[in-house]
Chain A
Amino acid sequence: MSDVVMTVNGRKVAASVEDRTLLVHFLRENLNLTGTHVGCDTSQCGACVVHVDGKAVKSCTMLAAQASGSTIVTIEGLAEGAELHPVQAAFREHHGLQCGFCTPGMIMAATDMIRRHPEGLDEKTVRHELEGNICRCTGYHNIVKAILAASKAMAAGGEAKAA
């Protein structure tokens, strides 16, 4: 067993877990943060993406023990109370989801992508950067539109560095 301590969505959490516990299972089963999804066995789909120390990583391919000492943000930690994060708002506005299964991972990957490209994004870059996130429904078109719109809105609002 490992004693893990981490900050999740601003809250300090501590637990004793089996060493083989994946971060995604820790989030879902110990913390009941079920917004983070598991969509594959092969580390390819990105439904499980969360931010660990400010970087968007696949929580299905990291042990909770590896994340001990880190700061985690999940999809549940993105909105400011009732006010959606600009990327969430853009996904709603541009119909960037259908079944919604991939959406938490898409949004966590998108906020990281926007932060890494303060110079702005174009369609080609967004599509290249979405290689680790698979969507079975939308055909990506509206996801790309939403990310481009969010990137513009955040640059205008000086929020590109947020989240």
Chain B
Amino acid sequence: MYAVNYHRASSVADAAKRGGGDAKYLSGGMTLLPAMKTRLAAPSDLVDLSRLEELRGVRISGRTVTIGAATTHYEVSTDAGLKSAFPLLCRFASLIGDPAVRYKGTIGGSIANNDPAADYPAALVALGATVVTDKREIAAEDFFTGLFETALDDGEIVTAVRFDIPEKAGWEKFRNPASRYAIVGVFVAKKGDGVRVAVTGAGDDGVFRSKEIEAALAKGLDQKALDGISVPSDGLMGDIHASPEYRANLIAVMAKRAVAQAAG
């Protein structure tokens, strides 16, 4: 790791003053520190957000859930309110990485990083979530702009994520057995305004909505509507783990399982 200056932010406002340029925010560090250790990232300064109470915790009011950016995957997976209001999200978070990663990794870090195989981007796009920053609010679909790219401006801080609990939802992830990241993950959510289906792990540009599967499910969450469905492989990733065609097929299979789960 190259030399770096560490600062523990005292507030979001203090962090914003120190952020931007060659400085980087540090949340759980589960992505940034491995990148720094292998010298793939070399920020001049690290501004630690992880101890800021104003960025932590899950709040539920009516059907609306707000999760602070520095809330860990462990905290989401064990939150008592979520367990009764939206247990799927607890299970979802309990499938990210391993226990030690879940104790440190955060929702804000995950979405700011926008790894094309990360789990939260799929959940937020399918849920039609809103990303809240220290400057504005951004619809999840506009937030994730490409491979490791987001709509965040230089120095902008994600403070929270907000969404309404869907009527029904399901999540299935086909995991790389070594890294545990998704080779394909599909999040399906049904709300008053229809069904949304978001796919991670597969797209060349990161998370995307599957128009084909959404069209097939337009009348409701019926597994049979997906019988024989074919998902195009253009724009999908191919690597040593899976070809674009294999991923296309997995999207249909994972979507079916996610729908079965949501309907069941």
User: What is the interface of chain A, defined by CB distance below 8 A to chain B?
Assistant: 2, 18-20, 22, 41-44, 46, 49, 55-58, 60-63, 65-66, 109, 112-113, 116, 129, 131-133
Asked if B99 and A20 make an inter-chain contact with CB atoms under 8 angstroms apart, the answer reads no
Asked if B99 and A43 make an inter-chain contact with CB atoms under 8 angstroms apart, the answer reads no
B179 within 8 A of partner (CB): yes
* B175 to chain A: closest residue by CB: A131
Chain A nearest CB: distance from B41 CB in Å? Answer: 12
Chain A nearest CB: distance from B15 CB in Å? Answer: 15
Candidates B36, B97, B99, B178; contact of A113 at CB < 8 Å: B99
Query: In chain B between 1 and 34, which residues have their CB closer than 8 angstroms to a CB of chain A?
Result: 1-6, 8, 26, 29-30, 33-34
* Residues of A contacting B34 in the complex (Cβ-Cβ under 8 angstroms): 41-43, 61
Query: In chain B between 191 and 230, which residues have their CB closer than 8 angstroms to a CB of chain A?
Result: none
- CA separation between A60 and B1, bound complex, in Å? 12
Asked if B99 and A112 make an inter-chain contact with CB atoms under 8 angstroms apart, the answer reads yes
Q: A43-B30, A43-B33, A132-B98 are in contact. Are A2 and B6 (CB under 8 A)?
A: yes
B240 within 8 A of partner (CB): no
- CA separation between A23 and B101, bound complex, in Å? 15
Q: A41-B38, A55-B103, A61-B29 are in contact. Are A66 and B98 (CB under 8 A)?
A: no
B257 within 8 A of partner (CB): no
* Residues of B contacting A44 in the complex (Cβ-Cβ under 8 angstroms): 178-179
* Residues of B contacting A49 in the complex (Cβ-Cβ under 8 angstroms): 100
Asked if B179 and A57 make an inter-chain contact with CB atoms under 8 angstroms apart, the answer reads no
Asked if A41 and B37 make an inter-chain contact with CB atoms under 8 angstroms apart, the answer reads yes
Chain B residue total in the interface (Cβ 8 A): 29
Asked if A66 and B100 make an inter-chain contact with CB atoms under 8 angstroms apart, the answer reads no
B48 within 8 A of partner (CB): yes
- Which residue, of B8, B33, B38, has the highest number of chain A Cβ atoms within 10 A? B33
Asked if A57 and B100 make an inter-chain contact with CB atoms under 8 angstroms apart, the answer reads yes
B114 within 8 A of partner (CB): no
* Residues of B contacting A46 in the complex (Cβ-Cβ under 8 angstroms): 98, 100
* Residues of B contacting A116 in the complex (Cβ-Cβ under 8 angstroms): 99
Chain B nearest CB: distance from A107 CB in Å? Answer: 13
- CA separation between A51 and B4, bound complex, in Å? 25
B110 within 8 A of partner (CB): no
Asked if B104 and A62 make an inter-chain contact with CB atoms under 8 angstroms apart, the answer reads yes
* A-B contacts, 30 listed (Cβ < 8 Å): A19-B46, A20-B1, A20-B3, A42-B34, A43-B33, A44-B178, A46-B98, A46-B100, A57-B100, A57-B103, A58-B100, A58-B101, A60-B37, A61-B30, A61-B33, A61-B34, A61-B104, A62-B33, A63-B6, A63-B46, A65-B6, A65-B8, A66-B48, A109-B99, A113-B99, A129-B98, A131-B98, A131-B180, A132-B98, A132-B100
Residues 98-135 of chain B: 1 if any A CB is under 8 Å from the residue's CB, otherwise 0? Answer: 11110110000000000000000000000000000000
- CA separation between A133 and B180, bound complex, in Å? 12
* A2 to chain B: closest residue by CB: B6
B50 within 8 A of partner (CB): yes
* Residues of A contacting B8 in the complex (Cβ-Cβ under 8 angstroms): 65-66
Q: A42-B34, A55-B103, A66-B26 are in contact. Are A20 and B97 (CB under 8 A)?
A: no
- CA separation between A145 and B179, bound complex, in Å? 25
* B48 to chain A: closest residue by CB: A66
Candidates B1, B29, B103, B179; contact of A56 at CB < 8 Å: B103
* A43 to chain B: closest residue by CB: B34
* Residues of A contacting B4 in the complex (Cβ-Cβ under 8 angstroms): 19-20
Candidates A2, A18, A42, A56; contact of B100 at CB < 8 Å: A56
Q: A19-B5, A20-B4, A131-B180 are in contact. Are A63 and B33 (CB under 8 A)?
A: yes
* B104 to chain A: closest residue by CB: A57
